Amino acid sequence: MGEMMNEGQSLANDIDLSQFYQIFFEEAGENLDTMEQMLLALDVEKADDEELNAIFRCAHSIKGGAATFGFADVAELTHQMESLLDKLRRHELNPTAAMVDVLLESSDALRLQLGHHQGRGNETPVTSGLVTRIYALANGEDAEGADHAPAPAVAAPVVEAPAPAAARVINKPVVKATRELEIHIGPLDNVAQADGVAELFRDIPGLGTIEPLPCDQANKRVYRATTTSSDADLMDLFTFHVSKEEIRIVDCAAPAEDAPVPTAPALADGQDFGFFEGAPGVPAHAVAAAAQAAIAARDGAAHPVATPAPKAEARPAAPAAMESSTLRVSVSKVDQLINLVGELVITQAMLAQKSRELDDGANQPLLAGLADLDRNTRDLQEAVMSIRMIPMSVVFNRFPRMLRDLASKLGKKVELVTQGESTELDKGLVEKITDPLTHLIRNSCDHGIEMPEDRRARGKSEHGTITLSATHEGGSILIEVRDDGKGLSREKLLTKAREKGIDAPDSMTDTEVWNLIFAPGFSTADEVTDVSGRGVGMDVVKKNITALNGTVEIDSAEGYGMRVSVRLPLTLAIMDGMSVRVSEEVYILPLSSVIESFQIKPNDINTLAQGAQVVKVRDEYMPVIELEKVFDVPRFEHSGASPIMVVVEADGTRSALMVDELLGQQQVVIKNLESNYRRVPNISGATILGDGKVALILDTSSLVRRSRH
């Protein structure tokens, strides 16, 4: 067995474990997300066994990976969490709200610890208070008084460690009762490993004392130990030197024959090496060899293992199926692929334009091939774009925890309802919409939802409701944040605006009054707190959403609630567009905004006061937008006007654009005009046409708003 250890050591020394760090960090982040969602959804009154087991498995997986790679601080905290969760799933304890709170706080601390190991934090968070509270709860004590209780024993860090984090002994909280044990270790050829077990008692403060005894009848080495540790804790330590099957712990207070053989927690595919990491007396190569064994087991490599592997727990089939059906790919590679597809779309548009000049009869095979290329390019574009599409649940899942903590801090009772979690949005938008939505939800909880006693006085339920929904509407995604709180007060907003020096006459419409909260530095809070009151937030929300070519609107009813509607384009890369000509200029309309088109006569247009024009469409009058005047397009004699109306819809309102000609429908690649030139009013971007010319993409939302004013 010693030869196997030496061989395992050499194998471990040949491999750089840091290459697996990123995989561990990603998997740990996913486990933390899953654990947090399940903790928030846990009903402490009727906790389901499967839910508790699933939460335990998340903590168990993180602990195993952390111990493997030497992240001792992560392994310490997750081990304490695992101890509490283990008692909960075994029904030795009943779950309480305090337990959920401390586990959620531990989840936050773990994120900070993992971020520190990734180089995103300067200091490792202090978790001794959390460990003490978890220990108190796991032992049925009051966690409130645990802050002054002695923390569980933790040995000093070891200088030599196989991982970047300083390895240390992370010992379980000791039990007060002192016991005398006999530890039987065999067979005798494992002398070095048996002596290593004895060294643990000398190196770990507070573990106890140990002395050798004569060998037993089975020719195994015997030690008498005096310790306060439990059998399971000792087994966790000893299995670093000898296998579990070669250790027998006998309580001297009970008959040796009847003493049960303690068992350590089963290891899942060699991933979990307990909470003991790099203790004095344990050679550094032992941890490295254990890590190598885990990697070998995971990858199916036929490497020798240092100790006989314990019987692994049955693993559900779902994770294995997930691993085989998914592939982790860098976002930069996906972006590069999308850029290449964009260039392919432009090239295909060029070929399609040139093909119109060819004779249909003489070039039939070529034209058929170009038609196939058009179809395949479109299918490829849709497939590639779907890679970047992420369900809104990725964003929505962040808010239950935040809202729970905020409501508890404010003393309010708030329930979050989410709708349309499966609605998909481009990854680039998902990352940028998270912060604005976070502020909107905090705003609803702080300013909108009333205190429980105020809600009762108004005949409402004590529990306020904040609804977060996402739906597709044409070529946009509509995200709404609604609450059933007190809503906005018109009088209060006007008064605050005048105090800030903002021109706010009483003749302002409700919509204009509601939009006052987007003014920089505007706040309706009576006092500044750590939650709100500084006037920073809503103006940033509007700025961020506008930068995404989106819009934000507010609707409110005083005493009943408020609704904030955010509209965003579905994607930022490729879209279907309608090409239109105005004089010699070509513009692109987003096809999702186009409703219909029709030809008119000059006398079909009616002029109202101040030069505003409208056109009658099926008994409905629509405002007319003359693109020629909006963009000052020069008109030449040979480019005679042939008025065609294109009806577009944006923000629930329709307008008619006056153009000269419809050139056709095509896919266009959106290029950011602001980063390449500057921001142009009523223009959302630009694209390259098949002939190499640049065409501007019209911002239909801005044009429709212009027509209303």
CATH number, domain containing residue 443: 3.30.565.10
The pLDDT of residue 42 is above 50: yes
Most confident of 86-95, 308-317, 479-488: 479-488
Would you state the pLDDT for residue 219?
66
Q: In whole angstroms, what is the distance from residue 130 CA to residue 515 CA?
A: 44
Q: How confident is the model at residue 524, as a pLDDT?
A: 64
Q: Does 704 fall in a domain?
A: yes
Q: Which CATH number fits the domain that encloses residue 599?
A: 2.40.50.180
Q: Say if 267 falls within a structural domain.
A: no
Q: Who wins on pLDDT, 72 or 103?
A: 103
Same domain, 30 and 135: yes
**Does residue 185 share a domain with residue 230?**
yes
Long-range pairs for 605-609: beta carbons < 8 A, 24 or more residues apart: 605/643
Specify the CATH number for the domain of residue 300: 1.20.120.160
| 139 or 145, greater pLDDT | 139
Q: In what order do the strands lie in the sheet with 605-607?
A: 594-599, 644-650, 653-659, 620-626, 613-617, 605-607
Average pLDDT value over all residues in the chain: 74
User: What residues contact residue 695 under an 8 Å CB cut-off, 6+ apart?
Assistant: 579, 586, 587, 588, 668, 686, 687, 688, 689
Over the stretch 333-378, which tens digit does the pLDDT of each residue have?
Answer: 888 888 888 888 888 888 888 888 888 788 888 988 998 998 898 8
* Arithmetic mean of pLDDT, 514-533: 66
Within this chain, do residues 452 and 342 fall inside the same structural domain, yes or no? no
Least confident of 71-85, 445-459, 606-620: 606-620
Average pLDDT of the residues in 654-675? 83
Other Cβ atoms less than 10 A from the Cβ of 577: the count is: 25
The answer to whether 703 touches 630, Cβ cutoff 8 Å, is: yes
Of 76-85, 463-472, 629-638, which gets the smallest average pLDDT?
Answer: 629-638
Same domain? 478 vs 564? yes
Q: Residue 264: inside a domain, yes or no?
A: no
Q: Are residues 440 and 517 in the same domain?
A: yes
How large is the average pLDDT for residues 511-533? 68
Q: 5 or 100, which is more confident? A: 100
Residues 536 and 624 in one domain: no
- Mean per-residue pLDDT, 458-485: 86
Q: What is the pLDDT of residue 94?
A: 86
The mean pLDDT of 501-517, rounded to a whole number, is 81
262-266, 368-372, 426-430, 599-603, range with the lowest pLDDT: 262-266
Evaluate whether residue 542 is within a structural domain: yes
Q: Say yes or no: 294 and 149 in one domain.
A: yes
pLDDT at 289 over 50: no
Last residue of a domain, one of 390, 418, 439: 390
**Distances 115 to 68, 102, 274 between C-alpha atoms, Å:** 18, 20, 22
The pLDDT of residue 173 is: 42
Q: What is the CATH number of the domain that holds 356?
A: 1.10.287
Residues 403 and 521 reside in one and the same domain: yes
Which domain range does residue 201 map to?
179-251
Regarding predicted confidence, which is higher, 315 or 179? 179
Least confident span in 107-111, 599-603, 663-667: 599-603
Q: Are residues 213 and 294 in the same domain?
A: no
**482 occurs within a structural domain:** yes
Q: Give the percent of the chain with pLDDT over 90.
A: 4
Decide: 120 and 126 in contact? Cβ < 8 Å. no
* Cβ(250)–Cβ(256) below 8 Å: yes
- Per-residue pLDDT tens digits for 606-654: 888 777 888 888 878 888 888 888 888 887 765 556 688 899 887 678 8
18 and 134 fall within a common domain: yes
Q: What is the pTM of this model?
A: 0.51
Q: Buried b / exposed e across 559-571, counting CB within 10 Å, b at 16+?
A: eebbbbbbbbbbb
* pLDDT tens digit sequence for 156-205: 333 333 333 333 333 344 344 778 888 888 765 555 566 666 776 766 66
Which pLDDT value is given to residue 567?
Answer: 83
pLDDT at residue 320, as a whole number: 38
Residue 655 lies in a domain: yes
Of the ranges 180-194, 248-262, 524-538, 611-625, the best mean pLDDT one: 611-625
Domain boundary among 360, 375, 390: 390
Cβ-contact 197, 140 below 8 angstroms: no
Q: How many domains does the chain have?
A: 5
Pair 588, 451 in one domain: no
Predicted local distance difference test score (pLDDT) of residue 191: 55
Confidence class for position 468, pLDDT limits 50, 70, 90: very high
Residue-level pLDDT at 1: 39
Rounded to whole angstroms, the Cα distance separating 350 from 600 reads 32
Residue 469 has what pLDDT?
92
In a domain, 593, yes or no: yes
Task: Judge whether 58 lies within some domain.
Answer: yes
Given a cut of 60, whether residue 154 has pLDDT beyond it is no
Q: What SS3 class is residue 699?
A: coil
The encoded tokens of residue 88 equal 């909960």
First to last CA, the chain: 85
pLDDT at 560 over 60: yes
Q: Does pLDDT of 467 surpass 90? A: yes
**CA atoms within 13 A of residue 131's CA, in its CB half-sphere:** 23
Lowest-confidence pick of 159-168, 454-463, 684-693: 159-168
Q: What is the DSSP string of 318-383?
A: HHHHHHHH-----HHHHHHHHHHHHHHHHHHHHHHHHHTTS-TTTTHHHHHHHHHHHHHHHHHHHH
Helix, strand, coil % (nearest 5) of the chain?
45, 20, 35
pLDDT at 125 over 50: yes
Show Cβ contacts of residue 374 under 8 Å, excluding neighbours closer than 6 positions: 348, 352
Instruction: Look at residues 526, 548, 569 and tell me which one is the last residue of a structural domain.
Output: 569
Band the pLDDT of 384: cuts 50, 70, 90.
confident
**Share above pLDDT 70 across residues of the chain, in percent, rounded to a whole number:** 73
Rounded average pLDDT over 115-125: 74
Tell me, yes or no, whether 548 and 579 share the same domain: no
pLDDT in the model for residue 527: 55
| pLDDT value for 152 | 45
pLDDT the model gives residue 531: 55
